[in-house]
């Protein structure tokens, strides 16, 4: 009887440990799939390790934003607004990427390929901001670098507007200015 109770207690402890470990793993896996830390993504969990074009673009967005989050000097240099704007653009692009991946096969490849440029623009904008952290000692150089980052952010917004126009059926290169 005592052995049975001890065995049940050991099995319960092992089960509890396994359950906690599973919950922790799921949470870490879900967080690893977020483009912006703390903001849940609708991207399929399989994109974390998939080799499809959409999964690779999703991970590139995530890596770019992680690069900005890993640099505490961005906030110290007053670049929080630019970082938040890049995050918003990355989330919008990720939403388009998720929608494009759900399209029928005959439309999917072109829709995903159209998102390559906006993803690259996010990477370029983050790179411009990160460059500003290395030149932060020179106020003039910092201001020039931040101005360059702002220009890249405007280009990113225009690229996203073009993607939205395509999503609405407007097609590439249709007349009309890009707005954000």
Q: Confidence class of residue 164 from pLDDT cuts 50, 70 and 90?
A: confident
Q: Convert the pLDDT of each residue in 78-125 to its tens digit.
A: 778 888 989 999 999 999 999 999 999 899 999 999 999 999 999 988
**CA 170, chain centre distance (Å):** 26
Query: CB within 8 A of 99, min separation 6: which ones?
Result: 111, 167
Within 10 angstroms of residue 4's Cβ, the number of other Cβ atoms is 8
Q: Convert the pLDDT of each residue in 136-152 to its tens digit.
A: 555 566 667 667 777 77
Angle at 62 between CA 153 and CA 146, to 5 degrees: 25
Within 10 angstroms of residue 21's Cβ, the number of other Cβ atoms is 10
Distance separating alpha carbons of residues 95 and 130, to the nearest angstrom: 25
Question: What pTM does this model have?
Answer: 0.66
Domain ranges for the chain: 49-167
Distance separating alpha carbons of residues 178 and 117, to the nearest angstrom: 15
- Dig out the tokens for 75 from the structure: 């906030």
Query: CB within 8 A of 128, min separation 6: which ones?
Result: 145, 148, 149, 152
Give the pLDDT score at 7.
67
Q: pLDDT averaged over the chain?
A: 78
Query: Does residue 60 carry a pLDDT above 90?
Result: yes
């Amino acid at each position: 009887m005592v052995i049975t109770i001890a065995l049940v207690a050991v099995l319960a402890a092992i089960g509890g440990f396994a359950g906690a470990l599973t919950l922790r793993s799921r949470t870490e896996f879900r967080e690893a799939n977020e483009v912006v830390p703390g903001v849940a993504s609708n991207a399929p969990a399989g994109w974390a390790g998939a080799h499809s074009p959409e999964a690779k673009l999703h991970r590139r967005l995530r890596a770019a934003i992680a690069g900005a989050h890993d640099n505490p000097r961005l906030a110290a240099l007053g670049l929080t607004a630019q970082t938040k704007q890049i995050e918003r653009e990355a989330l919008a692009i990720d939403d388009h990427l998720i929608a494009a991946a759900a399209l029928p096969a005959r439309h999917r490849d072109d829709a995903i390929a159209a998102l390559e440029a906006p993803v690259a623009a996010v990477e370029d904008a983050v790179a411009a901001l990160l460059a500003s952290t290395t030149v932060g000692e020179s106020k003039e150089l910092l201001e020039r670098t931040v101005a360059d980052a702002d220009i890249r952010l405007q280009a990113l917004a225009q690229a996203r507007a073009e993607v939205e126009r395509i999503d609405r059926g407007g097609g590439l290169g249709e007349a009309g200015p890009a707005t954000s």
